[in-house]
Chain A
Amino acid sequence: MNLSYLVFVKQVPDTKNITGEAMKPDGTVNRAALPAIFNPEDLNALELALNLKDRFGGKVTVATMGPPAAAEVLRQSLYRGADEVALLTDRAFAGADTLATSYTLSCFAKNNGKYDLILCGRQAIDGDTAQVGPQLAEKMDIPQICYVEEVLELDRKKIKARRAIDGGFEIVESALPALMTVINSNEPRPASAKRIMKYKKAKTRNELLTLHANAAYTDAEFLVKEEEELKQKGLWIHALSAADVKADIDRIGLKGSPTKVKNIESVVLKSSEMKKIEDNEAGIKFLVNELIKEHILG
């Protein structure tokens, strides 16, 4: 089937090793200072899209909004089997909350193709909000299927999927186009060695310019030729600005974000006055007596 899948992914700081200096004074995240990884549940979303392509055919496009360095998650998507990738990057996107982010993504999805299914991870590990998926679905005016575990049936008109609910699961059927948020319920395929060999050369224009920093102004013709070659080999990572996706400048970035960070505090673990109890019969007896005396134990 000639279905088209659009997967939104995010490059995120690895939240396992974070310090207070990772924040800028304005309260937004200083992403440059942190190791960046492919958001885990977005890998599950990509896997589901590739799995649908394997089962039902179609084409998988992967897009991300982020700084130029986010092109890396797009290359990783190509290694795993994505057909086409796009980087939404513009200084004007910076500081976006979930509302501005979902608006920006919707501009791409509406103005840069036609998609039957949009997939994204349930949430990203930097904010854990799980808001962008449903907000994007609303902006696209399409139904949302959240917490998807697997897709049971798919045809041109509709999809049947199994999703997690509190304490169980639900099987739902929805008309297409639709949006799914995917949870950690599949095993993302590893990057293929053959595809790595090919797609490690994939570049954005920015990366091409950086690579030929010295040639950039002296030999523009050479760069144009190289760009053309990369495009023909499918090694071109489209980089799109706010204008390219036809975004309203008042609805993106900090300006398009209703929520503002008032302040950020590192979590200081509170230290209580701890009574040390010895691991012997007298110590434990004392403890149990205290608890009974204080009516903590009956």
Chain B
Amino acid sequence: MASAFELRRRNQLIIAAAVVAVMIALPLGIKDVYIQNILVLTVMYAALSQSWNILSGYCGQISLGHALYFGIGAYASTLLFVKFGIIPWFGMAAGGIFAAAIALIVGWPCFRLGGHYFTIATIVLAEIGLILFLNWSYAGEASGLQIPVSGDSWTTFTFLRSKLPYYYFALGLAAVVWLVTYFIEDSKWGYYWRAVRENTLAAQSLGVQVFRSKMAAAAVSAFFTAIGGSFYAQFVSYIDPDSVMVFQFSLLMALPAVIGGIGTLWGPAVGAAILIPLTELTRSYMGGGGKGFDLIFYGAVIMIIALARPEGLLSLVTRTRPAPP
């Protein structure tokens, strides 16, 4: 049993390496900046959705407020860069740590809530964050913050025309989050989280430290979401509360995992690879008429996938396997 399990784990690593290799080579064949932009977003949402998946998929605590951590990451690095000249690489780390701290602080009361009460609490917390940023004059209120771009530079992580540096960073982030998930899956915490997800009471009686498990999952999840937020701020080089902290972002982080397969290693990546190009292409090629066709199409696809494949699209190609012992 153990050896079959380890074999499967090794296969996962090989698949991952192959996928990353293909993704590294992909932009060499695709020169169109618009499509490169879609690739950046796809890989970014794969990373974000995987981060979300750690808390909501593996640990079963459904959050629809991850826009809070995304926004904190975006604002932390941008404020440090614009106001203090601290390069975004440090800002990114600071944003990640700060978001993790916030996740622990709000997690302390929130993790005593169950099910929908928890989910609504996450929505409400993200809305509070949005309103605070809209009224925080130091952070530019609604006018947001502009990241000065003088030229191509890895030090300040700004590039004029090229999307490739952003793409490779996002790919790296997605790979790291994937690896973290991969190792956690087979760790003590991974077992704890699944136990908490499947049956909180039973987990408790078996000696799983339920509360600490949830807190750990929230911190890891928030950390990587904030890194994604910092990345997005650098990528767009302009942020305002309405474009980084709205509810829509929370949904967009959850959707790929749900579409692909929630609580699975590959679900978020598969979901993002389908959903993000779909979102972008329907807007670009169906949205120009103002007739709402893009909305009808996009909504119908989400609805149909959710209904026809409740386990996620991943289940089309993999037989549902029991979780490792």
Are A and B physically bound partners? no
